[in-house]
Amino acid sequence: MVDSVYSALEKVGGSTIDIVVSETGWPSAGNTDATVENAKTYANNLVSHVASGQGTPKRPGKALETYIFAMFNENLKPAGFERNFGLYYPDMTEVYHVNFPAS
Which of 8, 14, 23, 13 minimizes the C-alpha distance to 65? Answer: 23
23 is catalytic: yes
Percent of the chain with pLDDT over 90: 98
pLDDT at 34 over 90: yes
pTM, rounded to two decimals: 0.91
> Taking Cα atoms as reference points, which of 79, 91, 89 lies closest to residue 36?
89
pLDDT > 70 in the chain, percent: 99
What confidence score (pLDDT) does residue 102 get?
87
* Active-site residue identified among 23, 65, 82, 94: 23
More confident residue, 102 or 86: 86
Query: Residue 101: which pLDDT band, with cuts at 50, 70 and 90?
Result: very high
